[in-house]
Copies of this chain bind each other. A is one copy, B any other.
Amino acid sequence: MTVIYQKVALIGLGLIASSMAHAMRAKGLAGQIVGHAKSAETRAVALEIGLCDQVFATAAEAVAGADLVVLAVPVGAMAAIAAEIGPHLAAGATVSDVGSVKQAVIAAVQPHIPMGVHFIPGHPMAGTEYSGPRSGFATLFDNRWWLLTPAADTDNQALNRLRDLVHAMGAKVDTMDPAHHDLVLAVVSHTPHLIAYTMVGVADHLAQVSNSEVIQYSATGFRDFTRIASSDPTMWRDVFLTNKDAVLDILGRFAEELFVLQRAIRMGDGDQLFDYFTRTRAIRRGIIEAGQDTSAPDFGRVGPSKTHDA
């Protein structure tokens, strides 16, 4: 592949940035990769494992001369970072981010972007429950969506260049309105994560009275929840604080639906439960057909984690 950016500055060196570094290196997409992380330990690890050619103690130093700057810090940290780097951005550079929420990031970052610099917000829909500079791997983005939410007046050449990079790292690209992005994500990701956190919290109370059987006999329903609920607390705190309106809307709908089913259980209304459970199979089929998951049972998978238990 050919070099797409001469100098990429990764601000924040966690799972997403380190995976980007691996992917860009594996495919020769960046002339040079530099980075900044708040923690001295993270910076040392980034050099030790070869994530970055250079690391800097400040974001301002890292972005100097970069033609691509990627903000890969928690959403709540974006405003301060943008204010810091604004005066140091090179003319013609592109700034993007990898935050899970887009309207709040745009409000935090856009005011600090000087004329002649292109801000194109982005959201790679990929991750694991691991975090930190050692958690990245080059194939994280393979066949995953990477959503971009450019403004109406975004420079087309800059947009296409960023799109090329994202494609070259293995991802599928789509563009979307920021508000719509935040609603869709509230449904497919943010609210499910909050629910998983909540269920694990309930079990945690009971674990103390059930002599750790809850852990020992954790079945798939619950095991999947714990995997989701072990994701990075800082990142998720910021997601909920910054996508508040959409999440509260979806949570309200969720609570209504849950109470309908809870009442059906209390009243012994088997037909209502059966009908509900039958309808939810259809959306699952839709997901398999959309290629976001496979219908194949994981017979060969190490460990039991994809089977179900009742």
Point out residues on A near B: beta carbons under 8 Å.
76, 100, 123, 125-130, 137, 139-140, 142-145, 147, 180, 183-185, 187-207, 210, 212-231, 233-241, 244, 247-248, 250-251, 253-255, 257-259, 261-262, 265-266, 268, 270, 273-274, 276-287, 290, 292-294, 296-299, 301-310
Contact = CB atoms under 8 A, between A and B. Distances in A.
Contact of A248 (B198, B204, B212, B262): B262
B255 A258 contact: yes
Contact of A309 (B127, B142, B301): B127
Nearest to A229: B280
Given A202-B187, A240-B265, A284-B229, A276 B197 contact: yes
Contacts of A220: 127, 189, 228
A107 to B, nearest CB: 15
Question: Taking chain A's interface residues, is the majority helix, strand, or loop, or is none over half, making it mixed?
Answer: helix
A180 B258 CA distance: 25
B194 A261 contact: yes
Given A217-B145, A220-B228, A221-B193, A296 B302 contact: yes
Contacts of A227: 224, 284, 293, 308
28 contacts: A125-B219, A126-B307, A128-B307, A140-B307, A183-B210, A184-B217, A185-B310, A188-B219, A191-B202, A198-B257, A201-B276, A206-B253, A212-B286, A215-B287, A215-B292, A216-B292, A224-B228, A227-B308, A230-B284, A230-B285, A233-B278, A234-B274, A236-B310, A239-B310, A248-B262, A255-B255, A292-B305, A293-B304
Contacts of A222: 187-189, 192
A247 to B, nearest CB: 6
Contacts of A250: 202, 206
A96 to B, nearest CB: 16
Nearest to A138: B299
Contact of A206 (B187, B197, B234, B239): B187
A144 to B, nearest CB: 6
A146 to B, nearest CB: 11
Contacts of A183: 210
Contacts of A140: 307
Contacts of A187: 202-203, 206, 210, 214, 222
Contacts of A251: 258, 262, 265
3 smallest A-B Cβ distances: which pairs? A192-B221, A100-B310, A233-B277
A250 B199 CA distance: 9
A162 B140 CA distance: 45
A109 B239 CA distance: 50
Contacts of A194: 258, 261, 265
A116 B137 CA distance: 61
